[in-house]
Amino acid sequence: MDGFNTNYWFLAIIPILFIALCFVLIILVICSLIKYLRGNQFRNKNIQFYKNLGDAIKSNRIRCNMTQELVAERLGVSRQAVSKWENGISDPSTANLIALAKLFGIEPEKLLK
């Protein structure tokens, strides 16, 4: 039989399948990148919140001429806990936040702004 051999018809489909597979992979990569970038925006907002709270705690502690050890002793926590609050690694409980505000002579809301 002249021309196209019917026994090798699947060879014509392989390039089409390859192009379709590449197209699907590109779409999946783009969707993954979009999801990753959107996730970073939310993580950055949370980091900024903790950083601002930590900065507020540290600046008020310095304003009151207190050391981390003194603040920790007055609140009944470790100096490492105060350091973690100031560095944004963790945040104080509500009770500790209120105690910090009383210790610094300010309203608790001012620490959160």
Q: How confident is the model at residue 50 (pLDDT cuts 50, 70, 90)?
A: very low
Would the pTM count as exceeding 0.85?
A: no
Q: Is residue 76 in some structural domain?
A: yes
Q: Is residue 4 in some structural domain?
A: no
b/e burial code for range 74-100 (CB count within 10 A of at least 16 → b): ebebeeebbebbbebeeebeeebbebb
What is the tally of structural domains in the chain?
Answer: 1
Q: Is residue 73 in some structural domain?
A: yes
Domain coverage including residue 86 = 51-113
Cβ(69)–Cβ(29) under 8 Å? no
Q: Is residue 96 in some structural domain?
A: yes
Q: Is residue 70 in some structural domain?
A: yes
Share of the chain above pLDDT 90, in %: 54
Q: How confident is the model at residue 43 (pLDDT cuts 50, 70, 90)?
A: low
CATH of the domain at 111: 1.10.260.40
Per residue in 66-110, pLDDT tens? 999 999 999 999 999 999 999 989 999 999 999 999 999 998 888
Q: Is residue 9 in some structural domain?
A: no
pLDDT at residue 68 in the model: 95
